[in-house]
Structure 1
């Protein structure tokens, strides 16, 4: 309405003129589409609308609410204008947003274009680089081909030149050879011609030279004879020269002989002082070579103090007291420079004989030397010399030497009954010669499992006989605890070793093992401790359980029983030979094993007689008996007490034989 009253001409715009439809009021006009000529645009204008508007304006002017209506119209117009402006702003914002989106799209397109261009450039660069590499490779191959071709041509040229030079040299040598042949031939012909022409002169010249040489030799012989004759005559006539010459020759001969023998004596002295005899397997005596090789060990040994003779040695109470007395007596004997006593230690293997010998030497402050009887026989005729070297070496020690001979029965056998070689017999005689008298330089300790095989002269040289029997229950328990602590508890509680111990009563288990290990030696029990340690190391988690310990003990018991079976078979195979010396524990085991397998009547009689013998022998330390297979000739049955020869004359063996004959 504002445009009707003339307000808002600058801001508003007149309403659009009403468009008359195409078919209204123009159908018959001459200027319409149907006519051929144009018409005026105001020809169809209807003024009624303006008239109504003018009338409405007059009515409003006459109305008392004209001002309010005008204000309302203005407000409406302002509202419309504000709405129009807001729409314009929205349109402008939309346009700006479209521009921003367009700019974003353009930037995105530009980025994509740049990315694509970069990819294209990279691809182009890679392709160009590839082409450049190919060109370079082609150039290298071409250059290599050209170099090879040039080298080949050079080689061909050199070969051709070498061939030409070689051909030239060969041709020159051929020509020179031909010329030399011709020259030599001409010279030979000329020389032959000259010799033929001068043959008489040459013969005369040879004759004159021979005569002159003969005359010269004769004159030389005469002159030499005259000179030597005059010199010898003058030397013989001069008594002072003759005496001086004889003395000089005598001194020269004495010097040569003395130097040769002194060298041998000095060598033997140095060997006896600094070396170690070949028969000695182990020794605590310090040598120069050992001191240079192990200086720290040598220093510790020199600073070491005497040890307890029974440290680490488990023996019965009676045997322990006896060997302790021997150790104390040996130590005091060395301190007082007295004569040492020779000792024989016998008993089953693994009962501590070698260990006690080492401890005895360390306790008394002496050096120990260990040799085995089996090393003497392989030496043959050199055994005597080696035996003397051992005793000479032992006699040079300032501290004294405890000479321990292990398995002494291997070469100290009976000379009368045993079939031994002459070399071994000579070595035995040398041993007897060197041990005939007691010495303050060395102490002889023999160890054997079969002392009855010793030569009688050996027994005469023994001052003390000690029987190392198998350990009893108390000793076995001490041994089991000792090796359990050494091989199991020690590694499990100290160090970083892979060994752990399960929870169980260790003391009770050791007592049970000691009861089950009846008849075992100390060495077998120590091997049992090593077996426990090996079982722990072989397990996945390194834990030693009670089941594993019992399993190893069962295996050891079975192995011990198998060894006893082998010992029985060995004794049974020697029909007619000397019986076997066994401790009473072993004898009891063999009797039980044989009694289970016997069934025939003769064998029952043998078992009966054997059992009677065993009942009487169990009260002794050991018994000496043939195997059951030797009892078939029952009259040959005998039982002797080893340490009591008077028991051979006792009446109870005869009574047993009578019982056996009566039962037969």
Structure 2
């Protein structure tokens, strides 16, 4: 449409009043060539205006002139709308810029507040550090002052003690000197008196000796006369001599028989009724216990066999194994067979002693508990005490389960130098009495270190059972058994008891119950 406004199609810009190439300051124009300068209309082409006028006339005569005008008006409105939208975009950009400035100002303010807070905290920490240093300095000064006072007091006490010791030593020296002077004076006086009375003393000694000699001679003569007459009369009478000899013979035989019979009867009574000194606890009823606790004895006689695992919490595999042992032991007692010896090893507090008691009660047997640590202190009496234990066990009518706790204390290897001769003799006595299986007693050993056993002990063991620490499920059952309230009030109780034995969990439950009772009271 540029041709409508007066410049031709070949021109790229509209005509201007000034020349296209004005003169520069250096005079590089057409005048430099000596030509006449042209005016401003010299380059104007009038054909463009003619063409524009012609086009306008044609457009006016055209029937689409109105549509072209409307189209131009619409284009102008579109340009205005575009201009307005650009203005609104510019305003929106200004508003956004203002919001961004507000946000930046808020961010700067927040950073300023944060920095002020950090500075305040740093200042407070520094002041606190200074206060702590001042307090530490005061404490150190006070401690140094206390140490100085203590040192002065110790020096004063040391000086006083030295003065007291010097005074005591001086007094002792004076007392010793006075004592020596007194002894010397007494000795001198006694020597003087003895020298003055020497003749009188010798005469007194001579008279006393003569009188004593006369008395002894008369006593000998009198006793000889009486004994001689009596012996002559006794020898002369044959009946008295025979009766006397027979009486002395019967007396000797009676004394010897009574002594032997008393020993046999005493050993029998001790084996049947008395409890050996090595046995600490037993369910076997003795006469003394029956007299002392009649009600308890009656209940024990009326008691029925119990379940071998009642109150005992073990892992499923271990429960199955020990239940088989309990059933086999009960059948052995009922059939009067030979009992099998068992070794139970594992950490302390895992239920070895408790299961041994339950096994005896389940099988209808008596149990006796002894500790290996009691054997070594007995010395040479250990052999006799060991024989008494097995003699006493062999007299049980129901069968006896002999439980030896801490058996490795005296059943250790005989080849080691740490074992004494007395303990070696006691071990030999134990091996002698357990050389063959018995239908009177069952041997159950418990140990934390079974590798220390003598090789002969391993030959006498028929079955070995490992009592390990309880697992997660067993610990939960133990906690529930010993303290149900603690179980329900503490969800992580089983995790807190990792590595604890059954005895330790039992003590934990008792302690918790005691603390609960104290708080409730």
Identify the TM-score tier after normalising by the shorter chain: 0.5 to 0.7
- Cα deviation for residue 516 of structure 1 reads 3.5
**How far apart are the structure 2 equivalents of 1:538 and 1:287?**
41
**How far apart are the structure 1 equivalents of 2:226 and 2:472?**
105
Describe how 1:590-629 pairs up with structure 2 within 5 A.
none
Report if the CA contact (8 A) 2:307-2:362 is conserved: yes
Describe how 1:476-515 pairs up with structure 2 within 5 A.
476-485=475-484, 488=485, 506-507=487-488, 509=490, 512-515=492-495
User: Cα–Cα, structure 1 residues 228 and 246, in superposed 2: closer, same or farther, change >3 Å?
Assistant: closer
**How far apart are the structure 1 equivalents of 2:374 and 2:250?**
45
1:343 and 2:349 equivalent? Answer: no
Q: Which residue of 1 aligns with 2:450?
A: 451
Specify the SS of the correspondent of 2:333: helix
Q: Which residue of 2 aligns with 1:393?
A: 392
Structure 1 residues without counterparts, runs of 5 or longer: 1-215, 236-240, 490-505, 543-664
- Cα deviation for residue 509 of structure 1 reads 3.9
User: Cα–Cα, structure 1 residues 480 and 258, in superposed 2: closer, same or farther, change >3 Å?
Assistant: same
Q: Which residue of 1 aligns with 2:258?
A: 259
Q: Which residue of 1 aligns with 2:401?
A: 402
- Cα deviation for residue 531 of structure 1 reads 2.0
User: Cα–Cα, structure 1 residues 396 and 224, in superposed 2: closer, same or farther, change >3 Å?
Assistant: closer
Q: Which residue of 2 aligns with 1:531?
A: 511
Q: Which residue of 2 aligns with 1:462?
A: 461
**How far apart are the structure 2 equivalents of 1:347 and 1:429?**
26
1:327 and 2:326 equivalent? Answer: yes
Q: Which residue of 1 aligns with 2:203?
A: none
Specify the SS of the correspondent of 1:281: strand
User: Cα–Cα, structure 1 residues 402 and 225, in superposed 2: closer, same or farther, change >3 Å?
Assistant: closer
Q: Which residue of 1 aligns with 2:499?
A: 519
- Cα deviation for residue 346 of structure 1 reads 0.1
Specify the SS of the correspondent of 2:237: helix
- Cα deviation for residue 508 of structure 1 reads 8.2
Which residue of 231, 256, 261 maps to 2:237?
231
Number of residues of Structure 1 aligned to a counterpart in Structure 2: 300
For residues 289-336 of structure 1, give each alpha carbon's deviation from its aligned partner in whole angstroms, at most 9, with x where no partner exists: 211221111111110000000000011111111101111111111111
TM-score (norm 1): 0.42
Describe how 1:544-583 pairs up with structure 2 within 5 A.
none
**How far apart are the structure 2 equivalents of 1:382 and 1:361?**
29
**How far apart are the structure 1 equivalents of 2:250 and 2:223?**
39
For residues 544-583 of structure 1, give each alpha carbon's deviation from its aligned partner in whole angstroms, at most 9, with x where no partner exists: xxxxxxxxxxxxxxxxxxxxxxxxxxxxxxxxxxxxxxxx
Q: Which residue of 1 aligns with 2:441?
A: 442
- Cα deviation for residue 473 of structure 1 reads 1.5
For residues 45-97 of structure 1, give each alpha carbon's deviation from its aligned partner in whole angstroms, at most 9, with x where no partner exists: xxxxxxxxxxxxxxxxxxxxxxxxxxxxxxxxxxxxxxxxxxxxxxxxxxxxx
Alpha-carbon RMSD across the aligned residues, in angstroms, is 2.7
Q: Which residue of 2 aligns with 1:613?
A: none
**How far apart are the structure 1 equivalents of 2:229 and 2:299?**
80
**How far apart are the structure 2 equivalents of 1:455 and 1:441?**
24
Report if the CA contact (8 A) 2:483-2:513 is conserved: no
Q: Which residue of 2 aligns with 1:381?
A: 380
Report if the CA contact (8 A) 2:312-2:355 is conserved: yes
User: Cα–Cα, structure 1 residues 222 and 262, in superposed 2: closer, same or farther, change >3 Å?
Assistant: closer
User: Cα–Cα, structure 1 residues 311 and 229, in superposed 2: closer, same or farther, change >3 Å?
Assistant: closer
- Cα deviation for residue 254 of structure 1 reads 2.5
**How far apart are the structure 2 equivalents of 1:521 and 1:218?**
85
**How far apart are the structure 2 equivalents of 1:218 and 1:526?**
85
- Cα deviation for residue 246 of structure 1 reads 6.9
- Cα deviation for residue 221 of structure 1 reads 9.3
**How far apart are the structure 1 equivalents of 2:360 and 2:224?**
84
1:318 and 2:317 equivalent? Answer: yes
Q: Indicate the larger mover: 415-424 or 358-367.
A: 415-424
Structure 2 residues without counterparts, runs of 5 or longer: 1-221
Structure with greater Cα Rg: 1
- Cα deviation for residue 347 of structure 1 reads 0.5
User: Cα–Cα, structure 1 residues 390 and 231, in superposed 2: closer, same or farther, change >3 Å?
Assistant: same
